[in-house]
Copies of this chain bind each other. A is one copy, B any other.
Amino acid sequence: MKDSIKRFQVEKVSPQGREEEETFIISERPVTLFLNEKEVVTLLATPENLKELAVGFMLSEGWLQEDKPPKRVEVHPEGVVRVWVNARHPWAEKFFLKRTITSGCGRGTIFYNVLDSLGAKKIRSAAKIPRERVVLLMQELNRRSVLYRQSGAVHGAALADGQKILVSCEDIGRHNAVDKVLGAAFLQGFSSSGKVLLTTGRVSSEILVKAIKRRIPFLFSYSGPTDLAVNMARQVGITLVGYIRGPRMRVYSQGARLQP
């Protein structure tokens, strides 16, 4: 926590005048990921849950698979995470042949993966969640958003079952926050398949793809989606709910999984 937030003296201006004020600002650090000794990407992230971030990012990119845990994961204090997998697996070979172009906030070639994912079969889930539970889960995510309350400018994400939040993380980047919770679930030994993904951030196609890849049937956001995300959610069968604010929300797809 102490590394995730820094104290700064700033000047606060209001109609009452100007004053020096101590404020808390969220930390952003470069985090370089290595896979089997090969440098693969540098992320800019809030420096907590870096092991979860590395593993979740590699899961989202398809470099790790849920049934094949990494051999070893090492977090180095200077912002380096080293992950080793059994390189004899065909999927690992495939990765090492592939040119690495990173994804981002509307930046990267992940869209090609999006199209692959759309070829994926429908996410079938008979699970139902009462609408009041949607409200309560989002409230619980907000309660857990400690860094956000202290500093603003932070995104939160969580994985929940139909009842409660199982794990939650925060980061300056909405992609990072989601990858951290997916990585946390993996490292804690439970599958994110069939669960509920909550985020405070906008739902772009890249966030939706993360849910599709993990076979997550529920995606709830405090914020709004893009048209591409809505179309993908409808196509693949994800219950996408946005603008969850107090008792209000908008249901974009698969509302039949929500109960009165």
Binding site for B on A (CB under 8 A): 6, 8, 10-15, 21, 23, 25-30, 41-45, 100-109, 111-112, 131, 151-153, 171-176, 202, 204-206, 223-230, 243, 247-252, 255
Contact = CB atoms under 8 A, between A and B. Distances in A.
15 contacts: A10-B251, A25-B230, A26-B224, A27-B226, A27-B227, A28-B204, A44-B204, A45-B106, A105-B105, A105-B107, A106-B171, A106-B172, A151-B224, A153-B225, A172-B226
A8 B252 CA distance: 8
A25 B101 contact: no
B111 A42 contact: yes
A228 to B, nearest CB: 4
A6 B13 CA distance: 39
B44 A152 contact: no
Contacts of A102: 101-102, 104, 107-109
Contacts of A13: 131, 247-251
How many copies of this chain does one complex carry? 2
A153 B23 contact: no
Nearest to A224: B153
Given A11-B255, A251-B10, A28 B227 contact: yes
A174 B174 CA distance: 12
Contact of A111 (B15, B44, B171): B44
B41 A223 contact: no
A155 to B, nearest CB: 9
Contact of A250 (B12, B30, B106): B12
Contacts of A29: 228
Contacts of A109: 41-42, 102
B25 A225 contact: yes
Contact of A226 (B12, B28, B42, B131): B28
